[in-house]
């Protein structure tokens, strides 16, 4: 039982050492009990085994809830250089950590045709979340639609606020 606790403690210590290779020694003592240590065994011990472990790496990226929401209800922002409303729309999505496809109807005839079909107009910004859409920027409405789709209220841990979110689809080219 004691050896199991020691092994658990050693494994926990090894797991917390990021990206460093760790050494673990295993041997039986004079009483026949299995011993584990990060220090080499006494010289009198025979048949000691040395184990090497790689460090533990946790990738920080898109959260599970954001990934699930993106797969069920992808977000597309139709925006151009329209000033404050378009800038605030991009900022809200970025600060919240929402992955989105940015389409500029002024720069792309395809995006212009999509927006015309979606809304019947060419005014921006327009937020499309899955099959739902909102014309114009209003923080409360946009937040409610993103909440309904299951997007997290803040970005994934480790991702700075305002950092670009992974795009669900390639963005339209910017106007020169």
CATH number of the domain to which 124 belongs: 3.40.30.10
* Domain membership of residue 26 as a residue range: 2-53
Percentage of residues in the chain with pLDDT exceeding 70? 69
The DSSP-derived string for the chain is -HHHHHHHHHHHHHHTSTT--EEEEEEE-TTS-EEEESSPPPTT--S-EEEEEPPP-----S-HHHHHHHHHS-EEEE--S-SHHHHHHHHHHHHHT--EEEE-TTT-HHHHHHHHHHHSS--S-EEEETTEEEES--HHHHHHHHHHHT--SSPPTTSPTTPPPPPSSPPPPPP-
Region of poorest pLDDT, from 49-63, 85-99, 128-142, 155-169: 155-169
Same domain, 36 and 15: yes
- Choice between 88 and 41, residue whose per-residue pLDDT is larger: 88
Q: Is 16 inside a domain boundary?
A: yes
Q: Is 73 inside a domain boundary?
A: yes
Same domain, 76 and 19: no
Same domain, 117 and 68: yes
> Pairing mode, if any, of strands 100-103 and 75-78?
parallel
Q: Is 174 inside a domain boundary?
A: no
Q: What is the pTM of this model?
A: 0.56
Q: Is 172 inside a domain boundary?
A: no
Residue 97: predicted pLDDT? 84
- Count of the separate structural domains present in the chain: 2
Q: Is 155 inside a domain boundary?
A: no
Rg (CA), the chain: 27
Q: Give per-residue pLDDT as tens, 51-93.
A: 766 555 445 566 777 788 889 999 999 999 989 999 999 999 9
Q: Is 167 inside a domain boundary?
A: no
Same domain, 73 and 139: yes
- Choice between 58 and 25, residue whose per-residue pLDDT is larger: 25
Q: Is 159 inside a domain boundary?
A: no
Residue 20: predicted pLDDT? 46
Same domain, 41 and 101: no
d(CA 116, CA 118): 6
Percentage of residues in the chain with pLDDT exceeding 90? 38
Q: Mean pLDDT of all residues in the chain?
A: 77
Same domain, 30 and 80: no
């Amino acid at each position: 039982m004691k050896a199991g606790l020691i092994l658990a403690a050693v494994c926990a210590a090894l797991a917390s050492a990021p990206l460093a290779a760790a050494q673990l020694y295993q041997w039986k003592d004079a009483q026949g009990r299995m011993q584990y240590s990060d220090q080499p065994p006494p010289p009198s011990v025979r048949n000691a085994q040395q184990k090497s472990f790689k460090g533990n790496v946790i990738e920080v990226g898109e959260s599970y809830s954001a990934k699930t929401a993106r797969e069920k209800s992808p977000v597309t922002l139709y925006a151009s250089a329209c000033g404050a409303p378009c800038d605030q729309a991009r900022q809200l999505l970025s600060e919240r950590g929402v992955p989105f496809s940015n389409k500029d109807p002024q720069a792309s005839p395809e995006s212009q045709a999509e927006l015309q079909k979606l809304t019947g107009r060419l005014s921006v910004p327009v937020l499309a979340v899955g099959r739902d859409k909102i014309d114009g920027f209003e923080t409360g409405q946009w937040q409610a639609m993103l909440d309904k789709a299951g997007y997290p209220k803040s970005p994934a841990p480790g991702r700075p606020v305002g950092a670009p979110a992974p795009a669900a689809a390639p963005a339209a080219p910017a106007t020169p």
